[in-house]
Structure 1
Amino acid sequence: MRTETERHSPSNVPTAAGEAPHTSLTATAPGQIRVIKRNGTLVSYDDSKIAVAMTKAFLAVEGGTAAASSRIHETVQQLVEQISATFHRRMPSGGTIHIEEIQDQVELALMRGGEHKVARDYVLYREEHARLRAQSQAPVEPHPSIRVKKSDGSLEPLDMARLQVIIDEACAGLRDVDGALIREEALKNLYDGVSPDDINTALVITARTLVEKEPDYTFATARLLLDKLRAEALTYLEVAETATAAEMKSRYAEALPAYIEKGIALELLDPALAQFDIERLGEALDAERDAQFTYLGLQTLYDRYFLHDNDTRIELPQIFFMRVAMGLALNEDDINARAIEFYNLLSSFDYMSSTPTLFNAGTLRPQLSSCYLTSIPDNLHGIYGAMQDNAMLSKWAGGLGNDWTPVRALGAYIKGTNGKSQGVVPFLKVANDTAVAVNQGGKRKGAVCAYLETWHLDIEEFLELRKNTGDDRRRTHDMNTANWVPDLFMKRVFEDAEWTLFSPSDVPELHDLFGTEFEEKYTQYEQLAAAGKLKLHKKVRAADLWRRMLGMLFETGHPWITFKDSCNLRSPQQHAGVIHSSNLCTEITLNTRAGDEIAVCNLGSVNLAQHVAEGELDLDKLRTTVTTAVRMLDNVIDINYYSVDTARQSNLRHRPVGLGLMGFQDALYKMDIAYSNNQAVEFADRSMEAISYYAIEASSALAGERGSYSSFEGSLWSKGILPIDSIELLAEHRGHQYIDQDRSQTLDWDSLRDRVRDNGMRNSNVMAIAPTATIANITGVSQSIEPTYQNLYVKSNLSGEFTVVNPFLVHELKALGLWDQVMVNDLKYYEGSVQKIDRIPDALKAKYATAFEVEPRWIVDAASRRQKWLDQAQSLNLYIAGADGRKLDLTYRMAWYRGLKTTYYLRALAATTTEKSTIDTGALNAVSANGSATQAGPAAVPQACSLDDPDCEACQ
């Protein structure tokens, strides 16, 4: 097969021996992309030549019949558009790419498009021509001909010795990473007059293309990126023009005081940071910890977290962690010792604060809290006041959960105007548009979730808010939605009974009632309606409404299903109010009240994988981590900037925090346990029990040091009722026949109950498991409690495209002698699944089953075991392959029956998609706009929770 992809010049003849290998050109014009040919010359990018080459590749495989030609033309056009879009997305301001990278993209596009025969021939063609070039060309030593263009316009020879040092440092200690390969491939991308930035870009691009063959190249790529970051920050801070990794052991201590001084002068940092012993803190910075970043993790920090001045980064990784630590230690008695303690926890990746804390700690506006919950009142002034609160909270990077149940339904009487209400939906449209208009500090999209109780008369229209059809004025395409489901509704579903919908203006008590009190009052209202004393109501079959809820969830990804009674009956704070909704990501369950109670939660997550050593959970290390983490979270409450006074008052009154976890799947790998296994369920139980025990213990110890939160008396804590004990309260109200939740325990909970009664609690709530989408990327572990999405896939986000490979799988396959290019191609073909690759042993197939290959019951059972220890909830995605109505019904009934408080996204693949998905959307892991891979067609391919869609990042 013949291809002409490399014909981006008048001739495609390889450079002959003796030809000048590089041609000096002026800088690339803004927006223009140029191609570096194999002989080093630069030519303009021309996608028509890619089209010609791909067409010939197809013809060589499929022949030139009229029918084939028509399909080929259409397919090639689509693929070329995808390839060009990739380059323009990567380089919106222009740049240079090597001819080999274009051919890599052609190969990838063919694989993604399902054109595997063409792709195979194309790969063979490239390999053969590479061999022929190697035979015909004499080795060319490029460095005498490559000069670097400095900022003043002068040219100097490329410093090959320093280049080698940077590459050697990047590869140090990494298995199967070839520094010589990075060097030689990167040199192909350099040309005379190249800028220092472009040298670094060539190194980074070269290393990252090798990640799919060896996962450790992700660390090498990150270390190469660090060279650029060091030059950028150190030059700005006037410490040095550049530095190697070895030199940073002393440079960090020099850079920190310069950073603090300049950051304060630029009004980026809180002047209070100057009170620290900067020299002592500088000595505590550990430069070696820079080496633990993956490429995705460091690039994410660089693009979105590091403070900058006019787009010049002034932070380095360890300075970044120290800034956050200092910001969280401001109110401590020994601020320097605590800052170092907090720094060590963050920089070791044992624990990570949530995104708002990382964004804003130590700055002039330290909005450190992750999420806010509000109740919307049933009056125009209150509704628009809540909109303003939403806007202010969103501005400072808070995710929002709004309880809309009090707002009267469509057709309800309005006394003031003697008219009829338009219902809740028009106001939801305004809330949707507010979230779009006010993004989170210019750093990410505004994000909000609207909650409505299942008895609300507008619930049927609420279910359709995310549909792409119907009146767009009554749609909210950018806002998340969730059902707030009472137990009585679920009982009616089980019993196949009727359900009555009301306007809250007619049944005002229902909003604040739960458990048996709700059931009694609801039944009374049904009797009044049956007697004709409540005109505005509607009877439906509960099972029919349940099916519509599940159908919309499958079709649009919304509304999520959350359970009102389990949230309230197991709440430690039920004496002080009512939980009316969860938050943006369904893990926070705190009281709200319209007008005077905006709930606030402050999040952070233990990296569980960092606490597994030699196949066992290290309980001593976990206790140390949790103790410090709870202290950091409690500090957030006092340091936090509150843009809304009501939120401040509520947060200081109850002091809730949400300690969660991430890296659960990585921990299982390290313990040699498959996710679909009773051992995994048991590990979920025991690990969460330990975190719960240590978190409650730490909060109680803080109460002894700092005092209990003000509303402690009357709480379940004050009565010696811990989260594990509150399951009985739920069972008593719901009925024991409607709950099946394990209650086994292994630690000394009796002594802890006594301590809590004696010391009190510093925090009304202590635990919640958030999605950790971003901070898991930063620390390089699996998200939250999720099973592995795929073992090999491409992740796209604002920072670019990243190849993600499961390093645990690769290292095991290497040990068995099974890791080679054929295995890479097989994983691509089977979209990251190992199940159909015959030569992989069955034990590994079980261990490395991906999210859609794990039966939902294992996810629910593990979640149930965690839920018994949590005083709040968990952000639980459900993955269902071969989804149909029966499977959805069974899974969500089971979630309720097992005692879960909430569920989050449904990741469902219809039965027609599970055999083998093909891709014709132009993007690997294509997904619908709402973030859930639920389309029942052949193009439906699952996507991992990304930085930008869905908006779970608003939590972490």
Structure 2
Amino acid sequence: MSPTLSIAATSPTQTKIQVIRRDGSPTPLDISRIRAVVEWACAGKEANPITLEAGLTTRLRHGVTTRDIQDNLINCALEMCSPTEPDWRYVAGRLHIWNLWKDTQVARGKRDASTPGTHLYQDYAQEAIAKVRSGHYNDRLLTYTVEELEEAGSWIDPNWDIDYDYAGAVLLTKRYLLPNELPQEALLTCALLLASVETPQDRLIWARQFYEAIARRKISLATPILANLRVPKGSLSSCFIAAMDDNLESIFETITDTARISKNGGGVGVNVSRIRATGSWVMEKANASGGVIPWIKLLNDTAIAVNQGGRRAGAVTVSLDIWHLDVPEFLECQTENGDRRRKAYDIFPQLVISDEFMRRVVAAQEWTLVDPYEVRVKFGVELSALWGEKFEELYQKIERSLGQEITLYKKISARELFKEIMRSQVETGMPYLWFKDTSNRANPNQHEGYIPGGNLCQESWSNVTPHKFAHTCNLDSLNLANLEVSELPQICDTAVRILDNTIELTSPPFEASAAHNERYRTIGVGAMGLADWLAKHRISYSNLEAIDNLFEDIGYHCTRASMELSKERGAYPAFAGSEWSKGHLIGAKPVEWFSDNANEKERWQTLSEDIQKHGIRNSHITAIAPNTSSSLVQGCTASILPVYSRFFYDKWAKGTVPIAPPFIRDSFWFYPENKTIDQKIVIKAVAKMQQWIDTGISMEILFNLNQGVYFPENPDRAIKAKDIFETLVLAWQEGCKAIYYVRTVQKDDFKESGDGCVACAN
């Protein structure tokens, strides 16, 4: 039997144990080398290296591999992680990066080195050129000379590799790195490519600014940029929205476009509100149409079949206006009962909600569902293209003609329909709700069309014209956990410039996407780590003034950055006649609004004048995505919502992984848990942010169904349907543009109540 020994009891002179190195060669066990790695991994952290060494007792044996030793150290560190000792996750992250360094060292045939990171990063220029020649890197990188690449390589700080906790290190290496690639090589190459569209005399200046902002994790690149920018012909856009016209050619062309988007890893929204309803006319035959569901099912199957290169199933949200006759069946398309041939379990349903509907919900009035084809034939108008007063005028005219011009319709209680929506949300988390009038009022391009619905994550949208313009948007995010307000001017400039450059670099998946990119130049600078920023400053989500001021700064600096780019590069082509051209600012609001509501009023007046004079480079500039996975890489909390839990273990393929916010050790009680916060507080905070974000915010709402959570004065009181109803209505009233998922915390004995709540929770 092979001997097993303790580090504490063993020395190199006491044993003849042979260790198998990564290149397959044996070497005598050298405890001092293990101890050196342990001390390196624990340096500067609240983690005792002796404790980690003790965890390896009895695990050293003859023939053990260096990888086994390292993996055992990682597992020991993960097991010791807790809310009181959270730094062990950083120790595990460093050990994971050490594994990566050593594996890369062997793959590249480098000699053994005590500091492999520093040793490996000395050859960036040669490695980058080799990857271009092998087809792994985009040949645009050779825009730079060898001397420029060598200079760029000198910017690398290997210590930036070891800032990640275990979850971030694993996600970075497994999801984003190419074979035989190191983290700083990936980030530097992204920065160089992003700067390659700059003038030759400025590109290295911008490349360094981009690289340091990304490597220091002050700016997070969206997954398509980080994953696809380095490879040849990669699509860099995150968000797409298409719309179907009511004919076979349009329907199947949209399905093909959806497949192309999915192939390139993008999420897509498809609006189907123009499609005639079930029982409508086809080729002048009554009751011949199967409605929207068969086409939604085709979109569903496309998402499964075109599975993003085998990485994951395609992601499609299908939106339908709330007046459409097929809305009740649309709400049932993911339930278990009914005709299985009319189910679509793999799409994400989204309802497009008008102000008129919400007013009738609040007033408990009737609502009418109609067929868009009959409206189009009888009134000569596309109902789905209308919003605001024009929609309300036609809709009321339609209602007056029921039983006369309009024969295919259904009257229903608006509130009962809203309860059905709530029932589905509590059971499945969906449908998403996208507030059409709120979003279109804020559209700066009202002179050229309308926005039909939201994107997959409910934060990005702009004008869509079937088969002419498909909304296309590139995203990045500010990491507020690593930023102070004084840094915002420069970081916002950098974030906006990065995204404007991606428009020049991306390969749109189809013609209507390319046309939209060119005409509207839509980008979305977002934010993550708000919960960390608040915790670091010892304030809460109830401090609306601080949140308001922070996002005013973000909105101002990002908007100003796009204006400055317009001076340099020109305004987006659709600028003339837009709300921007009239001096209206974020959300198409007149400058007088900013005089009444801004903390720093004068700068907005100046900005309005500058935009009218110089134009603005991007029609939409800010949008806050959910950032669930990328926030783990960034080492911060996701998006702008409170943490679900201060500390928890997530189940991954290789076991459980500790997840905690960055400042948990020093600011534990300043991280309120979302599962215990009244969601009306969250909605009011998001509404404050929304005033300064020109597109949308991915806002999940989380309801805890257990007793005594929201009502400490009454421990027997649990949330009721009335409370959920009031919260959802509040989101509309406060000016939120969309509701993403509705999440619930399970309550075992939650039963049907008299006011319409439901028993199930997701």
State yes or no: 1:511 paired with 2:384: yes
TM-score normalised according to structure 1 size: 0.73
> For residue 141 of structure 1, what is the amino acid of its counterpart?
T
How much does 1:726 deviate?
2.5
Matches within 5 A, 1:671-682: 671-675=537-541, 677=542, 679=543, 681-682=544-545
* TM-score, length-scaled by structure 2: 0.91
Structure 1 residue 292 corresponds to structure 2 residue 163: yes
Q: Is the 8 A contact 1:500 1:537 kept in 2?
A: yes
* Residue of structure 1 in register with 2:97 after alignment: 226
Aligned mates of 2:523, 2:406 — CA distance in 1: 42
Indicate the residue corresponding to 1:203 in structure 2: 73
Tell me if the contact between 2:196 and 2:203 (Cα under 8 Å) persists in the aligned partners: yes
Work out the CA distance in 2 between the residues paired with 1:138 and 1:237: 31
Residues of 2 paired with 1:568 and 1:461: CA distance?
26
- Any residues of structure 2 matched to 1:131-210 within 5 Å, and which? 140-141=9-10, 144-150=15-21, 154-175=25-46, 177-210=47-80
Task: Report the alpha carbon displacement of residue 418 of structure 1 after superposing the two structures with TM.
Answer: 6.9
Structure 1 stretch 745-754 or stretch 796-805: which is displaced more? 796-805
- The offset of 1:341, in angstroms, is 1.3
Preserved CA contact (<8 Å) 2:23 2:106: no
Deviations 1:780-837 (A, max 9, x none): 1000011011122111345653112355343357xxxxxxxxxxxxxxxxxxxxxxxx
AA aligned opposite 1:160 = I
Shifted more, 271-280 versus 518-527: the winner is 271-280
Q: Distance in 1 between matches of 2:251 and 2:81?
A: 51
- Evaluate the alpha carbon distance shift between residue 884 and residue 285 of structure 1 in structure 2; reply closer, same or farther with a 3 A threshold: same
**1:411–1:935: structure 2 CA closer, same or farther, 3 Å change rule?**
closer
Contact residue 675 and residue 704 of structure 2 kept, 8 A = yes
C-alpha distance in structure 2 between counterparts of 1:499 and 1:635, whole Å:
46
Q: How far has the Cα of 1:190 moved from its partner?
A: 3.0
Summarize deviations over 1:254-276 as a string: whole Å, max 9, x none: 2x123213312331111221232
Q: Which of 662, 666, 685 in structure 2 is aligned with 1:862?
A: 685
- The answer as to 2:320 corresponding to 1:452 is yes
Check conservation: 2:584, 2:590, Cα contact below 8 A. Answer: no
1:659 partner SS:
strand
Secondary structure of 1:284's aligned partner: coil
Deviations 1:326-360 (A, max 9, x none): 22122111332222111111001111110000001
Q: Deviations over 1:593-629 (max 9, x none)?
A: 11111110111100112123xxxxx23x111100011
Task: Name the residue aligned to 2:727.
Answer: 891
Matched to 2:477, the amino acid is S
Give the Cα separation in 1 of the matches to 2:515 and 2:500.
Answer: 15
- Residue correspondences, number: 728
SS in 2 for 1:604: strand
Aligned to 1:954: none
**2:409 — aligned with what?**
537
Aligned to 2:697: 874
* Conservation of the 8 A alpha-carbon contact between 1:237 and 1:259: no
Structure 1: distance between partners of 2:301 and 2:737: 29
The 10-residue stretch of structure 1 (804-813 or 854-863) with the greater mean CA deviation from structure 2: 804-813
Residue 745 of structure 1 deviates from its aligned partner by: 3.6
For 1:278-334, what per-residue CA distance to the aligned partner results, in whole angstroms no more than 9, with x for missing partners? 1001101111211211110010011111012xxxxx111111111211221221113
Whether contact under 8 Å (2:7, 2:53) holds in the other structure is: no
SS in 2 for 1:462: helix
1:504 positional shift = 1.1
Q: Distance in 2 between matches of 1:260 and 1:331?
A: 18
The answer as to whether partners of 1:231 and 1:241 remain within 8 angstroms in 2 is no
- Structure 1 residues 400-479: aligned runs within 5 Å: 400-415=268-283, 420-479=288-347
Give the structure with higher Rg (CA): 1
Match of residue 515 from structure 2: 649
Matching residue of 2:212:
344
In 2 relative to 1, CA 178–503 (structure 1 residues): closer, same or farther, beyond 3 Å? same
Give unmatched runs, 5+ long, in structure 1. Answer: 1-21, 25-38, 41-136, 309-313, 613-617, 731-741, 814-843, 915-933, 943-956
> In structure 1, what residue type is equivalent to 2:733?
Y
Which residue of 2 is the match for residue 661 of structure 1? 527
Match of residue 744 from structure 2: 908
1:368-390 Cα offsets, whole Å, 9 max, x none, are: 11010000111112111111111
Distance 1:729 1:908 in 2: 41
1:705 corresponds to which residue?
568
SS of 1:638's partner is helix
Match of 1:372 among 226, 230, 240: 240
Alpha-carbon distance in structure 2 between the residues aligned to 1:781 and 1:201: 25
Percent identity between the two aligned chains: 32
**Cα distance in 2 between the residues matched to 1:773 and 1:243:** 36
Report the counterpart of residue 689 of structure 1 in structure 2. Answer: 552
Q: 1:266 to 1:442 in 2, by over 3 A?
A: farther
Q: Which residue of 2 aligns with 1:849?
A: 672
Which among 95, 113, 122 is matched to residue 253 of structure 1? 122
Per-residue CA deviation, residues 399-425 of structure 1 (Å, 9 max, x unaligned), is 111111111110110017776111101
Specify the alignment match of 2:440 in structure 1: 568
Partner-residue secondary structure (3-state), 2:578: coil
1:750 aligns with 2:605: yes
Q: Which residue of 1 aligns with 2:481?
A: 609
Query: Does the 8 A contact of 1:325 with 1:343 survive in 2?
Result: yes
Q: Is 760-769 or 682-691 further displaced after alignment?
A: 682-691
Residue among 784, 790, 793 paired with 2:639: 784
1:34-85 residue CA offsets vs partner (Å, 9 max, x unmatched): xxxxx67xxxxxxxxxxxxxxxxxxxxxxxxxxxxxxxxxxxxxxxxxxxxx
The range that moved more, 795-804 or 194-203, is 795-804
**Alpha carbons 1:703, 1:760 under 8 Å: kept:** yes
Q: Which of 709, 719, 723 is residue 586 of structure 2 equivalent to?
A: 723
Q: Does the 8 Å CA contact 2:441/2:588 hold for their aligned counterparts?
A: no
The 3-state SS of whatever aligns with 1:810 is coil
* Deviation of 1:911 (Å): 5.7
- Contact conserved, 2:11 with 2:31, CA < 8 A, in 1? no
The structure 1 residue matched to 2:419, chosen from 513, 536, 547, is 547
Change (3 A) 1:878 1:727: farther
Pair 1:575–1:796, CA change in 2 (3 A) = farther
Separation in 1 of the partners of 2:296 and 2:590?
Answer: 34
SS of the residue corresponding to residue 422 of structure 1 reads coil
| SS, match of residue 622 in structure 2 | coil
Secondary structure at the aligned position of 2:61 is classed as: coil
Separation (CA, whole Å) in 1 of partners of 2:615 and 2:218: 28
Task: Quote the Cα distance in structure 1 between the aligned partners of 2:88 and 2:417.
Answer: 51
Distance 1:745 1:494 in 2: 33
Q: Is the Cα–Cα contact under 8 Å of residues 373 and 598 in structure 1 kept in the other structure?
A: yes
For 2:367 and 2:657, how far apart are their aligned partners in 1?
49
Q: How far does the alpha carbon of each residue in 1:873-924 deviate from its partner, in whole angstroms, 9 at most, with x for none?
A: 100011122343111110111011101111111112366579xxxxxxxxxx
Decide whether the 8 Å contact of 2:333 with 2:342 is kept in 1: yes
The answer for the alignment partner of 1:76 in structure 2 is none
> What secondary structure is seen at the aligned counterpart in 2 of 1:340?
helix
Residue 304 of structure 1, aligned match among 165, 169, 175: 175
